[in-house]
Amino acid sequence: MCLFCKIVNKEIPANIIAEDEKFLAFHDINPKAPVHILTIPKVHFESFNEVAPETMAGVTTFIQKVAQETKIDESGYRIITNIGEDGGQEVKHLHFHILGGAKLTSCFVDNS
């Protein structure tokens, strides 16, 4: 069982800020911004490559609610999901980083 599935099952503690029957949002333990929240589906999908469109529709609404609850919906925020090793995915459970609370800098990689 992966790390995030253990968090869903309450086997590992997390600083949970929002939860419903399908999704869970909690603070990242290594924040990269003043607000850094991870949002995950409770059902295990290894990455974005496996997720069903219906799940993405639900996570969209859930993330919008998390942004409102954390008061970053009006000032702006960034949503990131990493896919695979080259994409920087460290935990093999689909998750979305919600970053905000400050002016964010560019995140583009220049490999030239």
Domain ranges for the chain, please list them.
3-100
Considering the entire predicted model, what is its pTM? 0.91
The torsion angle over the Cα atoms of residues 105, 3, 42 and 29, rounded to 10 degrees, is: -40
The torsion angle over the Cα atoms of residues 15, 17, 23 and 28, rounded to 10 degrees, is: -50
Residue among 36, 44, 95, 97 flagged as catalytic: 95
What are 11-32's pLDDT values in tens digits? Answer: 999 999 999 999 999 999 999 9
- Top CATH class of 3-100 equals alpha beta
95 catalytically annotated: yes
**Interatomic CA distance for residues 86 and 49, integer angstroms:** 14
Hey, what amino acid is at 26? F
What are 44-82's pLDDT values in tens digits? Answer: 999 999 999 999 999 999 999 999 999 999 999 999 999
Tokens coding 54: 């219906």
